Amino acid sequence: MSGSDVVPGLTRYRLLGRSGLRVSPITLGAGTFGQAWGPGWTTEEQVARRIFDRYLDAGGNVIDTANGYQGGTSEEWLGKFMSERGGRDRIVLATKFSFGTHEGDPNAAGNGRKHVIEALNASLRRLKTDYIDLYWLHAWDTVTPVEEVVSTLDNLVKQGKIRYYGWSNVPAWYLGRAHTIAELRGLERAIALQLEYSLVTREIEREYVPAARELGLGISPWSPLANGILTGKYQKKGDGALAGDGRLGKGGFATGINSDLRDRNERIVTAVLAVAKELGKKPAQVAINWATNRPLVSSTIIGATKVEQLEENIRSLDFEIPSGLTKKLDEASALPVQYPYSFFEGDLAGLIRAGTTIVR
C-alpha cells in the first residue's frame, strides 16, 4: 500500500461500539465473491481478487463474509486471497453463522451450540486462519435459548477463536436480553449490530439506534443502497414495479420494504438525485455518505461486482453533505411516528415531564 493508493475517507478509522476495535468507516462485503447466486450477485475469481486488493490498498481494513455466502466459496476465496497476499493480522475479518449447511440436518443450522462450533471450525478452514476478528450471529433462529448463545460465544472468545461478536437481524428485545445476561453474569458482550439501514429503510431508528446508544453497540448497516434503488438506475412502471438493469430485476434478497418505487421510495430517490446533482456526486455516493454518517454507525458494508464500482463507493466519504441538503434527505425519508413513541412525543409528553424541558 503506497500513499498514492490510499483513499483518505477509508483511513479515518472508528471504534466499533464500546470496544477497542478500530474499523474503516466502509466495510468490504464479500457476498459477491463466488458464482453460486447468479447474475447481479456474483463475480469471477480474478475480479474478486482485484476488488479485495484495491480495498486493502486504499486503506480499508474490514472484510465481511458469511459461511453461507456463495455456498462457502466467498470464504474459500478470501482464505486464498489472504494467504497469497499476506498481512492477515492487518485485516479485521468478519464472518457469520446461523444459516444451514446440510439440508435435512436440524443441527446443521440455527444458533445452537453444536452448530455454532461446527460452523466456526468450517469457516476457519475455508478462510485459512485460526481466528475470526468479528463473529456475527446472522439471524435469530426463534428457538435457541439466548443464554446458550451468549455462553457459547463467550467461550469462543475465551478460547481465542473469535475476538468479538455481534448481532445481525435479531429482534430488539433479544439483543437487550442477551446484553443483560452477559452483563450480569460477567460474560463477553456483543459490540455491534449489523442491520439493514438506508434512506429507504430507516426502521431501526425506532428501537435499535436507541438500544445501541444505551448498550454501547456500534451499527454496521447493510444494503445502504436499498438493493440499488438509491443509485437512481431504476424507473417506475405504471404498476409501480421496477424497470432497470440491476439486482432487483434479477431476483435475490430484496426486502418487501424497498422492492419498488411507490410513493415514499420515489420521493426519496428524487431527493437523492437532486442532492447528487447539486454536489456533483453520484447518487450512490450520496446514499452511502448519508448512512455512514448517521449516529452510532461505525462501518457501512458495501458490495461490488466491479473494481470501478468499488472505487466509486469507497470515495463516498471524501466530501461532506451540507446540513441543508442533509435535512432535505432526512425529510424526504422520514418515518411516521408510531405507538408507543407517539405517546412519548405527543400531548402526553408534558405530563411525563411535569411541563418542564429536560435535556439528556
CA distance 157 to 138: 17
The half-sphere exposure of 347 on its side-chain side, counting CA atoms within 13 A, is 0
Q: Which of 69, 165, 197, 208 is catalytic?
A: 69
Which backbone phi and psi does 168 adopt, to 5 degrees?
-130, 135
DSSP-derived pairing of the beta strands 235-236 and 300-302: unpaired
CA distance 118 to 120: 5
Q: Is 69 a catalytic residue?
A: yes
CA distance 350 to 360: 16
User: Which residues on adjacent β-strands are paired with residue 242?
Assistant: 236
Distance of CA 167 to the CA centre of its chain: 11
CA angle (97 as vertex; 93, 103 as ends), nearest 5: 135
Contact 313, 288 (CB under 8 A): yes
User: Which residues on adjacent β-strands are paired with residue 222?
Assistant: 196
DSSP-derived pairing of the beta strands 62-64 and 22-23: unpaired
- Where do runs of H (alpha helix) occur along the chain? 45-57, 73-85, 113-127, 146-158, 172-185, 204-215, 264-279, 283-292, 307-314, 323-333, 341-345, 349-352
Pull the grid cell for residue 345. 412525543
Beta carbons within 8 Å of 38's beta carbon, 6+ residues apart = 250, 251, 252
Report which residue type is found at 23: V
DSSP-derived pairing of the beta strands 235-236 and 242-243: antiparallel
- Residues catalogued as catalytic: 69
